[in-house]
Amino acid sequence: MSADNKLLHALYRDMRRIRSLEERVSELFVRSESAGSMLHLSIGEEGVAGIVRAMDNLDSFTTHHRGHGIFVARGAEPARMLAEIAGKADGYCRGKGGSMHIADMGLGHLGANAIVGGGIAHAVGAALAYKRKKQPRVSVAFFGDGAMQQGILYESMNLAALWSLPVVFVCINNQYGMGTRVDRATANLAFDERARAFGLDGMIVDGTDVELVHETAERMIGNARQGRPGFLSITCYRFYGHARMDKSPYRDADEEAAGRARDPLGKARTRLIERGAKAAELDALDAEVAAEMDAALEAAVQSALPPVDTMFEDVFAPDQPKPTPLRTRLNAMLSEATR
């Protein structure tokens, strides 16, 4: 296999693992096994794999609320991810973070964040630390098009440019912020121009072309490592509703069909076959990934809930006194009242 094909093959696998994981996240919900109903699937956004593969092992990142795909592409264990989403003890944060607050310092995941734009400044802070410590590391902030309307992004881009920080801002433009189409939320869709106004290298690329995403990200991350921060917007389509409960009544069937036809996996598969890959070989890869994710789903379902007496572990600073559980306080009040 040529180097080009090898890379596309690896990217296709990453993307298949993202989609396959997200399908199991959806299944967790249907089986009433998820902790909460606000599960945001990144199906249609698998092109992010191109960015993740362009990062080095010691690079770090933050994600928004739709970050499962980014984390699994980074090498997260699907069983531990699904356990976290199910609120189980074997999860990455022992079940206390869930889908929208998953984090793992070992893999450089500085945290998902449910506040639109909320994780952007954290990535800039990490980049500032790398620069001050003279470490050749880059931090990447992943966020949605909704964050393009948040002030924190502009404060962050300004400081990144001013202090020449090793950071890349990545906007995943999936065309929607909840039920609002991006062109109803922003006056100027040329997001790259906004970044350039701050002195950053700014680009918009087709997010369904994973090779193009990878090539662009590799250059941008390389420049960031030299102190030239960048902004990359990848254009794609959110295949399903905002969260698992949303049936997208605000979109028509034609639009959804056209959006889903722009499938990053379909594009990569066609290209691999044009370059000589066999359909059967790709089908076998898909089946192998599906089996991996099925096993991860079952492991997550079988995992135990965290014991009640560990409720306050990991969520308060170790030197802080632990709060008294509500039940203990209620009992104290009741016995006081009935004395």
Ligand X SMILES: Cc1ncc(C[n+]2csc(CCOP(=O)(O)OP(=O)(O)O)c2C)c(N)n1
Binding site for ligand X (CB under 6 A): 40, 64-66, 114-116, 144-147, 174, 176-178, 238, 242
Closer CB to ligand X, 179 or 266, in the complex: 179
The length of the chain is 339
DSSP E strand stretches across 137-209: 139-144, 167-173, 176-177, 180-181, 201-206
Distance linking the first and last C-alpha atoms of the chain: 81
Q: Is 145 in the site for Mg ion (CB under 5 A)?
A: yes
Least separation in angstroms between CB 159 and ligand X: 20
Q: Is 62 in the site for Mg ion (CB under 5 A)?
A: no
Residue 1: name its binding partner from ligand X, Mg ion, none (Cβ under 5 to 8 Å by kind).
none
Residue 214: name its binding partner from ligand X, Mg ion, none (Cβ under 5 to 8 Å by kind).
none
Closer CB to ligand X, 177 or 306, in the complex: 177
Closer CB to Mg ion, 139 or 174, in the complex: 174
Q: Is 144 in the site for Mg ion (CB under 5 A)?
A: yes
Q: How do strand 167-173 and strand 230-235 relate by DSSP bridges?
A: parallel
DSSP E strand stretches across 28-151: 60-63, 109-112, 139-144
Residue 19: name its binding partner from Mg ion, ligand X, none (Cβ under 5 to 8 Å by kind).
none
Fill in the DSSP letter of residue 35. S
Residue 235: name its binding partner from Mg ion, ligand X, none (Cβ under 5 to 8 Å by kind).
none
Q: Tokens in use for 316?
A: 């308060």
Residue range at the interface with Mg ion (CB under 5 A); choices 14-22, 141-149, 150-158, 214-222: 141-149
Query: Rounded distance, CA 157 to CA 152, Å?
Result: 9
Q: Is 97 in the site for Mg ion (CB under 5 A)?
A: no
Bridge-partner residues for 231, per DSSP? 169, 202
Least separation in angstroms between CB 64 and ligand X: 6
Bridge-partner residues for 270, per DSSP? none
DSSP secondary structure, 243-262, as one string: STT---TTS-HHHHHHHHHS
Which x/- pattern, by CB under 5 A, does the window 156-195 give for Mg ion?
------------------x-xx------------------
Question: In what side-by-side order are the strands of the sheet with 109-112?
Answer: 109-112, 60-63, 139-144, 167-173, 230-235, 201-206
Q: Tokens in use for 157?
A: 């881009």
Closer CB to Mg ion, 113 or 174, in the complex: 174
Least separation in angstroms between CB 64 and Mg ion: 9
Residue 65: name its binding partner from ligand X, Mg ion, none (Cβ under 5 to 8 Å by kind).
ligand X
Closer CB to ligand X, 119 or 166, in the complex: 119
Least separation in angstroms between CB 214 and ligand X: 21
Which x/- pattern, by CB under 5 A, does the window 253-272 give for Mg ion?
--------------------
Query: Rounded distance, CA 1 to CA 17, Å?
Result: 21
Question: In angstroms, what CA-CA distances link 125 with 148, 160, 228, 287?
Answer: 19, 9, 16, 41
Which amino acid, one-letter code, is at 219? R
Closer CB to ligand X, 65 or 109, in the complex: 65
Conformational region of residue 169, where left means phi above 0, alpha means psi within -120 to 50, and beta covers everything else: beta
Find the farthest-apart pair of alpha carbons in the chain and give their distance in angstroms, rounded: 82
Residue 147: name its binding partner from Mg ion, ligand X, none (Cβ under 5 to 8 Å by kind).
ligand X
Interface residues with Mg ion (CB under 5 A)? 144-145, 174, 176-177
